[in-house]
Amino acid sequence: MKRIVYFAISVALATSCDAQAVRGLAEISIIDRDSGVALSPHVYHGEYWVAGKPGARYAIEIRNRLGERLLAVTSVDGVNVISGATAGWDQDGYVFSPGDRYQITGWRKTDAEVAAFTFADSSNSYAERTGRPANIGVIGVAVFRERRPPPSPRPPMIGQSSDRSDAARASESAPEPSAPMLRAPAPTAKLGTGHGEREYSYVDHTEFLRMQPQPNEIIRIHYDSLDNLFAMGIIKRPRPAPPAANPFPASPDQQYVPDPPG
Asked if residue 176 belongs to a domain, the reply is no
Range of the structural domain that residue 202 is part of: 4-148+181-231
Give the burial class of 86: count Cβ atoms within 10 A of its Cβ; 0-12 exposed, 13-18 middle, 19 or more buried: middle
Residue 114's region, left for phi above 0, alpha for psi from -120 to 50, else beta, is: beta
Segment 190-228, tens digit of pLDDT: 899 999 999 998 888 989 999 999 999 999 999 999 999
Task: Find the angle CA(17)-CA(27)-CA(127) to the nearest 5 degrees.
Answer: 100
Asked if residue 83 belongs to a domain, the reply is yes
Segment 4-41, tens digit of pLDDT: 577 765 444 444 455 566 878 999 999 999 999 999 99
Asked if residue 262 belongs to a domain, the reply is no
| Number of domains, the chain | 1
Asked if residue 141 belongs to a domain, the reply is yes
Residue 234 CA to residue 171 CA, distance in Å, equals 65
Give the contacts of 242 (CB within 8 A, at least 6 positions apart): none
How distant, in Å, are the alpha carbons of 40, 63, 71, 209 from that of 3? 34, 21, 11, 6
Determine contact, residues 10/186, Cβ cutoff 8 Å: yes
